[in-house]
Structure 1
Amino acid sequence: MAGPKDLDPSSSPRALIGAELRHARERKGLSQSELGEPLFVSGSFIGQLEAGTRRLHLEYAAQIDEILDTNGFFERNCKALAKSKYPDHFAEAAEAEAIATAIREYATLLIPGLLQTRAYAEAVFRAYKPTAPKAEIDPLVAARLERAHLLDDPTTPLLWAILDEAAIRREVGSGAVMGEALQHVAKLTREHRIIVQVLPFDAGAHASMTGALKLMEFEDAPSLSFVEGPDMGKLLDDPATVARHTLTFDLLQAAAHSPQDSLALLESVAQDYEHGAQHP
């Protein structure tokens, strides 16, 4: 019987890797837990690899090839998958985001990447890399805008964003850039494609004072949460941690303006920027 073909990393790579892993494991007659045991990971972790919600790392790929007799297939394709258009600390989260059925995100200082305009994204990356040549900035912007195509589907994923008021009051780029960025978010809201709430300054102390938070749900795999800092990020699958982060998001929802009042605030602040009256 012919072995599995090497995968094209440009076409749903993790889903394809996951499907091949499940096929190879079942051919060997192993359960997810039985495969996970020699790797010192849980059966649920193997399930996440098979569902495509987690990236297969090289440290596991070579062992899996040995256990499943797959002639180096997973090691070869794991190396190909490591070539990502996203920064290393965000690559795995971006890949999970692409197959999520629901995304809930609290943004502290920035409009979320999925909702950014080109001009806003350019201003953000230029702030991160003030001396970088345009040839370095342009691919970063392109990758961020490409992520937003997730929203081309009229219903999936559900995107619920909570923006701290600081994210809409801090002028990024210019007043014109901010006005366009906030009107873009408002347009998606008015088209019923996303749900947005604003967490106002007068809410005071809240459940996520330590930083931003992203939760992702999947059709056939457990939920994940993602936390991020400067040049670092961590995708978390521990059920207790995900449950705690889910409660955190619920508390933020309760403290934020209603979606209707949030939309009115977004449009009002956008108009202030456009008229030159907004002073963060």
Structure 2
Amino acid sequence: MSVDGEKDEPGWEVDPDDEWGIAVIATVGRQLKLRREAVGMRAAEFGTAVGYGEDLVYKIEGGKRIPRPEYLDRADEVLGAGGLLSAMKEDVRKVRYPKRLRELVKLEAQAVEMGVYESHSLNGLLQTSDHARAVFTARQPPYSLDEVERAVAARLARQSIFERSPAPALSFVQEESALRRPIGGTMVWRQQLEQLLVVGRLRHVTLQVMPLHCEAHPGLDGRIEVLKFPDGTAVGRSDGAFNGRPTSDPKQLRILELRYNTIRAQALSPSDSLAFVEQLLGET
């Protein structure tokens, strides 16, 4: 892909309120510029070599734009950096996430097992880009267009969890009402339902639907999330317990696991849940 097309793709700007992110991207930009100048390449010549326009090269070197991972790989190759520029991809990847999400992303990257119950909306790991964009656009007070695109990009970047190897065991329970709300309009809704079917059929993913005819269950207070790690530790959070704060206390985790396991038992089976989503898709 020619990265020149990034001119028309928002979401790669640096968050002006993220001091750490600004510092990281400024450092990366300086290193790129120093390497380029050291080999005697002009910005326009370098841009042609890596598939970027000269203007975008200057923006990246000036710390105004987040470079794509493939840009760093190509720059490393063109400038003969021996892997030093490519090695910056990890820090650059973290900048894509808003500050408040970084700890969550770190935990998700380490988890070997994750269970999530969602009540009012679809879990961010399951959302399509258009669905996420409609959700962020509806926020009040309203986000700016740049803030919306940064939020969408960060949400999609988290979905790399589905491609991890070895794959973590992922379990999602979604309220039926969240699946019926046509966020973004009919076409966006259809694409979202199709996405749920794709994800729900992954071997390491279990997707269940909590039907509306279930009169009561332990998740009525809101979201529940439990993540487990290779060393046997875990962390959990619930909107309706422990002030909504993350907890690693064994006693509190047992309570959250009991609630989540009860919710799973009351929800439709995974096969019935996929059949339900297919039925919804057929009704649109």
Q: TM-score, normalised by structure 2?
A: 0.62
Partner of 2:167: 156
Residue 140, structure 1, aligned to residue 138, structure 2:
no
SS state at 2:203 partner = coil
- How many angstroms does 1:236 deviate by? 1.0
CA deviations over 1:157-178 (Å, ceiling 9, x no partner) = 1111000111101221112111
Residue 198, structure 1, aligned to residue 209, structure 2:
yes
Partner of 1:188: 199
The CA distance in 2 between the partners of 1:233 and 1:248, in whole Å, is 15
Give yes or no for contact 1:120–1:178 (8 Å, CA) kept in 2. Answer: yes
Residue 104, structure 1, aligned to residue 102, structure 2:
no
Give yes or no for contact 1:197–1:253 (8 Å, CA) kept in 2. Answer: yes
Give yes or no for contact 1:197–1:256 (8 Å, CA) kept in 2. Answer: yes
SS state at 1:236 partner = coil
5+ unaligned residues in a row in structure 1: which ranges? 1-7, 11-79, 274-280
SS state at 2:226 partner = strand
CA deviations over 1:85-136 (Å, ceiling 9, x no partner) = 5455543222211210011000112111111110011011111146332111
Which amino acid in the other structure matches residue 109 of structure 1?
A: H
Partner of 2:44: none
CA deviations over 1:171-208 (Å, ceiling 9, x no partner) = 21112111111111111222324110101011111011
Please point out which of 266, 270, 280 is paired with 2:281: 270
CA deviations over 1:2-53 (Å, ceiling 9, x no partner) = xxxxxx989xxxxxxxxxxxxxxxxxxxxxxxxxxxxxxxxxxxxxxxxxxx
Residue 243, structure 1, aligned to residue 238, structure 2:
no
Give yes or no for contact 2:218–2:262 (8 Å, CA) kept in 1. Answer: yes
5+ unaligned residues in a row in structure 2: which ranges? 1-22, 26-90
Segment drifting more, 94-103 vs 253-262: 94-103
Give yes or no for contact 1:155–1:193 (8 Å, CA) kept in 2. Answer: no
The CA distance in 2 between the partners of 1:201 and 1:188, in whole Å, is 22
Give yes or no for contact 2:174–2:209 (8 Å, CA) kept in 1. Answer: yes
Please point out which of 109, 127, 137 is paired with 1:116: 127
The CA distance in 2 between the partners of 1:168 and 1:119, in whole Å, is 15
When residues 253 and 267 of structure 1 are mapped into structure 2, their CA distance, relative to the original with a 3 A threshold, is same
Residue 168, structure 1, aligned to residue 144, structure 2:
no
When residues 216 and 195 of structure 1 are mapped into structure 2, their CA distance, relative to the original with a 3 A threshold, is same
Partner of 1:256: 267
Give yes or no for contact 2:119–2:219 (8 Å, CA) kept in 1. Answer: no
CA deviations over 1:56-101 (Å, ceiling 9, x no partner) = xxxxxxxxxxxxxxxxxxxxxxxx9xx8654555432222112100
When residues 238 and 143 of structure 1 are mapped into structure 2, their CA distance, relative to the original with a 3 A threshold, is same
The CA distance in 2 between the partners of 1:122 and 1:130, in whole Å, is 15
When residues 221 and 90 of structure 1 are mapped into structure 2, their CA distance, relative to the original with a 3 A threshold, is farther
Partner of 2:220: 209
Q: Following superposition of structure 1 onto structure 2, how do residues 55-70 of structure 1 map, counting pairs within 5 Å?
A: none
State the superposition RMSD in angstroms: 2.6
Which amino acid in the other structure matches residue 207 of structure 1?
A: P
Segment drifting more, 152-161 vs 235-244: 152-161
Give yes or no for contact 1:117–1:181 (8 Å, CA) kept in 2. Answer: yes
Please point out which of 159, 179, 204 is paired with 2:190: 179
Which amino acid in the other structure matches residue 130 of structure 2?
A: A
Which amino acid in the other structure matches residue 212 of structure 2?
A: F
Q: TM-score, normalised by structure 1?
A: 0.63
Which amino acid in the other structure matches residue 102 of structure 2?
A: A
The CA distance in 1 between the partners of 2:114 and 2:283, in whole Å, is 30
- How many angstroms does 1:155 deviate by? 5.1
